[in-house]
Every structure is written in structure tokens, then in C-alpha cells.
Amino acid sequence: MSALVLAIDGPSGSGKSSTAKALAIRANWSYLDTGALYRAVTLLALEQNEFEEHRLLDLLDSNQISFNTDPNHPRIFLNEKDISQEIRLQKINDHVSQISAMPQVRKILLDLQRKYISDAPIGIVVEGRDIGTVVAPQAQLKIYLHADIDARVKRREGEMSERVNTETVERSLTNRDQIDSTRVVSPLSQAVDAAVIDSTRLTLDEVTDQIWKWLKQRNLLGLPTVAVIGRPNVGKSTLVNRMIGRREAIVEDTPGVTRDRVKYEAEWNGRRFFLIDTGGWEVKPEGISEKITAGAEAAISEADLIMFVVDAQVGALDEDESLVTLLRKSGKKIILVANKIDNAEDESEGYSLWNLGLGEPRFVSALHGRGSGDLLDLLIQQLPEVGTQQVDDGFRRVALVGRPNVGKSSLLNSLAGSPRSLVDDAEGTTRDAVDELIEFGGSTWRFIDTAGIRRRAHQASGTDYYASLRTQSALERAEVALVIFDASQTLTEQDIRIVSMADEAGKALVIVMNKWDLVDEERQLELEKEMDRQLERYPWVQRVNLSAKTGWHKDRLAPALRTALSSWEKRIPTAKLNAFLGELVGANPPPVRSGKQPKIKFATQAGTCPPKFVVFATGFLENSYRRFIERRLREDFGFLGTPVEVAVKLKERDDA
């Protein structure tokens, strides 16, 4: 599942509905009351006086049940009729357990519930019965909420849409508990990893505050997002670097250096948030500027708050007026930032920006830091408690690396099924490392699309130099590197250097031969020779031939990534490792050096990610013998797709 899921289970009347709605509103998540779906089916059965399962299934085929997942206005509909009040009648309470015990009805509603979960854009709070055990067993947080019968009766009375005496409500709840608890698989079963709350003597606020604390502790709440918007070359990236406290965004005295919208995590006074650095917005963009402007507009729709940056030295231009109109239509909070205010004299010029109609301009000098602290103070005051963007929640991190124009961004977009990264025929379109969560092959992956690594980037200056640094940083953050080659072109020294970079960084590794739709039989034979000759040091690397443009064989990528990551994390038990080493040394002892033969005492696996082995010996082991050990380790234990490190530690001879 791509959305974050909070599953709340428990018996009727324990406070699940009120708690779930309160949490969903606070977190800006969706909300699903699974019990309302069963109640809707029960109402349909009562209206048609039909309680035989096979006939009820026919009714479900010809009638539509839907749920509005907005926690502020949750509604249940039967054939577009709002039945939210009708399902709270006592006659529904009396029959709903009978309906929920029907296996085929449960299957239909289970599929519907999972669809609502998968459609949630950010996160969803799902409440009902058997949520953490059956409906969403992979939920990131599971809660089991219960209370004593008196508290449950009182709460249920408050939810009823008709007046019913207390004895009737208590008898209904008790009977339902009895029916549910005696079923083969009880919907009241508690997930083994659920956090339990007894809500009998707790207020709604106390229950929600406790769950909110758990959500924060597990890093499951979305961070607020700030989009930094403005014309080209007004200092947006310089301001982003100032606010995140490090030189991440590429800065150069040339308009249009930033092209993709790039997201960075920042923190100020204990508040964390995302900053989106965007390319310069233009009124009438042409060529690649058209895509850059579209990316800036996408960032506006994605943000919780917008920082509109204007070059105070230039003042407001007609383009700024047009952008103001666009920002107002977005309905988002806007902070007007007057950049390049280096002294009090500049401030007098900056006051003219009041004419934009966006309120008081905030004076800063992104280059020198003047006013940046005050701007950050204002920013965190204006930010919502929770934003619409997820935090990094443990998805596997994949770096896409390769020379410029080999199709890294095209592959990213192909896997996503939609344009996520800027693609253009111009070489070197991507300059920043761009993170994207993409679901394919049955899993969600965090892809980092990087700038193409050019030859002798360490000798370059400006854009290419910093893009190379960002790419190296992306490799460090990743767990597995996808090294992209253009299969239609001859392999270059630069291609091999990129493989070496990923290997030296200790990352799992998969080579992708892209543009396979352009490869004929003659080129295939040439390519095999090039691979054998230039990648002879990497026989353990998996290779996937695909075409990002057509999607051919992209389904082979997920299994290759999983294999590489599994090898990267593999650990061999010490006893098994030493049994292997004993057989190896017995059959092939280390070579004699200076008239003495080193004796291997034992070995241990010192770490994983990548696997690291330490061999304890009484003397130096030749590099060729270390490579022999590595090769045999791979033959016996796998390690496909990961570097393996074999180190030797000298140990004095045991004279005993």
C-alpha cells in the first residue's frame, strides 16, 4: 500500500469512530468507517427483506454502495442516496452481525475497503473490526481500542439517530459481542502488534493525543511543504541553501540553472518541513522553459505554503504581476520575500513591493544571511501542524545514475506511469537529485533521479561541478544503484567509472541496458564483447535489458532490485562460514610467501550492507587469494548484485 495507514480496531461503542475522525482531520488524511459499509448492506437487506447470502449478492451487483472519505463530512451512500442517518437505527444494530458473518459479502466489502485504502493520496485512518488483522495487516500503526460495557452503551446511545432505552442498547451490544466472539475467525481479534488503549475513563482528546504521540514517535506524520516560487535568477536556490543550512541547491549566476522542482528537508526551532526549490516561472515559456514553468506550477499545487521571491534590486516586473494572479488562484498562504536587501538603503526600495497586494514584504539577503532567521520564524508560525507530504518512511532507496542522456529520467517516468522528472532531448536536462516514491512490481520504492555524471567533473566548475556533487550525495543516501547505460552506444570509460563509483560506495548494484529497442543483432554481439572486456571485474552484477520508451521488460527490474538488496543485507552464520572456510583452505591452502605458509585461523562476518568479512591469519594473504575467497563465497552463498569486502587481520601463531 502506498498510503500510510492507521488501523483502529475494537468493539462497538469503544470510541473508534470519533477517535478516527479526529485523527484524520488533524493529520489531513482520509477516513474510512468500515462498519458503515456493513450497515449499508444490512439496510439494503432489510429494505428488500432478503437475508439469504446468494440473493443478497445479487442485490449488491445491482446496487451501489459508496463512502465519502473526507473526515470533515463522512457520508455513506446507497445508489447515491445519503443513508448516513438511516444506518444508525436500532434495527440495523440488531441485524448487522448476521450480515457481517456472510463470507461472500465480507469478501466484496473487503475488496471495497482495500480500494479506498489504496486510493488515499497521503494517509488514511481506517476503523472497524478486523482492520489490523485482515483488512490492512501491513498498517504502519495499529490500535486496539476498548472500554467497559457501561461506557460503550453511553457512547452508542449518543450515536443513535432515534431514542432507544439503555437496556435495549446494552442487550444489542452484548449480543453482538457474543456472536462475533464465537465465529471461527472473530472480528474482535486483536493484532499481535497493536497498541492497546482502554478508553473507559479517557476523554476523546486524551485518546487522540496518545495516538498522535505514537504517530510522531514512529515518524508517520506528513511534513508541511513550502514551495519557493519566483522568476528566473531572483535568488531562490541561494535562499533555499541558506534555509537548509548547507549548499545543496545548485547556484550559478545564470538564469535557469534550477530546472526540476527539488525537495529538501529543513528544520528550524524543532519544526521540520520540506522546501521545494523550483525553476524560474515565465509568462510565455518556450522549449524547455515550458516544462520548467509547468514544474513550478505543480509545486504550487503541492505546497501548504508559498514563498514568493522577488529581486528587490530589480523590483516588481510584469511577470511578477502575472505570477501573483496565479498564486492568488491557488488559495494557498503566501509570504512575499524581497531578496537582495543588503542594507537599510535597500529596504527603502523594497517597500515598493507592497504594491503587489500580497501584504508586507519580508526583507532578506539570501547571499549574506540578513533577515533569514526572522523569515524562518515567520515561516514556522504560518505552517500547518501537519502537511500533505509524507516523510521518508522506510521505502527502499534507489539511485538512478549514468552519463547524461542515457534515459534515467525517462526510466523514472516509465516506472511511475506519469511524468515525474523533466525529460528533454537536450543533454544534461536533469541537474539536481530528485526523490520520487513510485509503486511498481508490488512494492513502493524511493527513486533518486540524478544528474548525468560527466567526464572529469571534479575539474569542472559551476553547474556541472555541483551536479556531480549532488549525484555523489545521492549515491551515499541510496541502498541500491541502478547504473543506466545506453545500449545503442559504445560503452565508454565514463560508463565504467560510474559502475566503479557505485561499487566503491558499497551499494547494491544493477546495470540497466536502456534503449534496447534501438539494438540490432550486430550491436548485441558487440555489446557482449564490450561487457566481457570492460566489466570483467563485476561478474556479480545483474543486468537488465529494457526500453524505458516502450516499457519493454521493465517488469524485470523489481526482481533484480530485490535480489541485489537481499544479497546486500545477507549474513552468514559464523559456524557455517568457518565450516566453508575450513573446506576451502583444506583443498586450496594459501600460497607460501618468503618461505612461510600463512595459516588461516578463522573468519567472521563483520557487517552487512555490503557484506564484510574478516579473515584472521598468521601472515599476509596475497590479493589473488583474497579474490579467490570472495569468488568462492559468492559461489557458495550467492551475493548476486552486491559488493563483498574480504579483509585480513594478522593473528599471532598459537604455539600451544
Q: What is the mean pLDDT of residues 173-201?
A: 76
Lowest mean pLDDT among 178-187, 233-242, 312-321, 569-578: 178-187
Q: Which three cell numbers stand for residue 419?
A: 511524468
Q: Which residues pair with 436 in a beta bridge?
A: 447
* Nearest to 38, CA basis, from 108, 142, 85: 108
Confidence of residue 247 (pLDDT cuts 50, 70, 90): low
Residue type present at position 612: K
Phi, psi (rounded to 5 degrees) for 587: -85, -30
From residue 93, alpha-carbon distances to 39, 82, 103, 174, 642 in Å are: 8, 18, 19, 11, 58
Q: Which three cell numbers stand for residue 473?
A: 550525495
Q: What does the pLDDT read at residue 390?
A: 57
> Look-up: residue for cell 524547455?
288
CB-count burial class (<10 Å; 0-12, 13-18, 19+) for 332: middle
Confidence of residue 14 (pLDDT cuts 50, 70, 90): confident
Distance CA(77)–CA(113), nearest Å, equals 14
* Nearest to 300, CA basis, from 325, 274, 262, 330: 330
Q: Residues 27-67: pLDDT tens digits? A: 889 999 999 999 999 999 999 999 999 999 999 999 999 99
Q: What angle do CA 208, 212, 216 make, to 5 degrees?
A: 175
Q: What does the pLDDT read at residue 6?
A: 95
Dihedral of CA atoms 545, 551, 557, 559 in degrees, nearest 10, equals -110
State CA 302 to chain mean position distance: 15
Please state, as a whole number, how many other Cβ atoms lie within 10 Å of the Cβ of residue 449.
25
Reply yes or no on whether the pLDDT at 126 is more than 90: yes
Write the CB contacts of 271 (distance below 8 Å, at least 6 apart in sequence): 380, 383
Q: What is the mean pLDDT of residues 193-210?
A: 89
Confidence of residue 656 (pLDDT cuts 50, 70, 90): very low
The answer to whether 75 touches 82, Cβ cutoff 8 Å, is: yes
Q: What does the pLDDT read at residue 616?
A: 92
Please state, as a whole number, how many other Cβ atoms lie within 10 Å of the Cβ of residue 374.
12
Please state, as a whole number, how many other Cβ atoms lie within 10 Å of the Cβ of residue 365.
21
Distance CA(611)–CA(644), nearest Å, equals 5
Q: Which three cell numbers stand for residue 272?
A: 521540520
Write the CB contacts of 67 (distance below 8 Å, at least 6 apart in sequence): 32, 33, 36, 37, 74, 75, 76, 77, 116
Q: What does the pLDDT read at residue 418?
A: 67
Please state, as a whole number, how many other Cβ atoms lie within 10 Å of the Cβ of residue 348.
10
The answer to whether 189 touches 268, Cβ cutoff 8 Å, is: no
Reply yes or no on whether the pLDDT at 455 is more than 60: no
Strand pairing class (434-440; 443-449): antiparallel
Write the CB contacts of 168 (distance below 8 Å, at least 6 apart in sequence): 90
Helical segments of 461-554, H only:
463-477, 493-504, 521-534
From residue 169, alpha-carbon distances to 12, 34, 42, 93, 539 in Å are: 11, 21, 18, 9, 70
Helix axes 90-100, 166-181, angle to 10 degrees: 0
Q: Which three cell numbers stand for residue 108?
A: 466484496
Q: What is the mean pLDDT of residues 638-643?
A: 94
Q: Which three cell numbers stand for residue 112?
A: 471495497
Confidence of residue 324 (pLDDT cuts 50, 70, 90): confident
Reply yes or no on whether the pLDDT at 254 is more than 50: no
Q: Residues 557-612: pLDDT tens digits? A: 999 999 999 899 888 888 899 999 999 999 999 988 778 888 999 999 888 889 99
Reply yes or no on whether the pLDDT at 429 is more than 50: no
